[in-house]
């Protein structure tokens, strides 16, 4: 009875099912590659932004310091300290987001370490 119904259909259409599964797996792999490329692009953009902001702040600090005077020394110190604090704040926020994302992915897949 089973050979005449679903089993016969599966035997007849096996090639279509295998081809469809291969197509789906290829699409999943393509999406994974696109996601990895986007993550790389995001990392490059963040790195470029941090470098350009750091360069701008260092240039401002140098300009204030080169003018001389006690007030410009204080501004230079404030700028440098705020830049260092901002850098560490950005890095800690990125790490927090990464850990949170990792925890969500781990919970979604049910993996245990």
Tell me: the pLDDT tens digits for 49-73? 888 888 887 787 777 777 765 565 6
In this predicted structure, the answer to whether residue 28 has a pLDDT above a threshold of 90 is yes
Residue 113's nearest CA partner among 96, 94, 35, 102 is 102
Stated as kind and residue range, the H or E segment containing 1 is none
Phi then psi for residue 105, to 5 deg, are -65, -40
Calculate the average pLDDT of the chain: 81
Domain ranges of the chain: 6-109
In this predicted structure, the answer to whether residue 9 has a pLDDT above a threshold of 60 is yes
Identify the pLDDT of residue 105. 83
CA distance 80 to 54: 9
- For residue 78, name the pLDDT band (cuts at 50, 70, 90): confident
In this predicted structure, the answer to whether residue 26 has a pLDDT above a threshold of 90 is yes
Residue 58's nearest CA partner among 74, 88, 92, 81 is 81
């Amino acid at each position: 009875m089973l050979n005449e119904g679903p089993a016969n259909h599966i035997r007849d259409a096996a090639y279509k099912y295998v081809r469809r599964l291969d197509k789906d797996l290829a699409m999943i792999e393509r999406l994974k590659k696109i996601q990895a490329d986007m993550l790389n692009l995001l990392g490059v953009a963040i790195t470029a932004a941090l470098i350009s902001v750091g360069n701008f702040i260092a240039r401002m600090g140098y300009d204030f310091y080169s003018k001389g005077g006690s007030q410009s020394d204080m501004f230079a110190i404030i700028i440098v300290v705020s830049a260092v604090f901002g850098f560490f704040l950005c890095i800690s926020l990125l790490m927090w987001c990464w850990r949170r994302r990792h925890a969500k992915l781990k919970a979604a897949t049910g993996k245990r370490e």
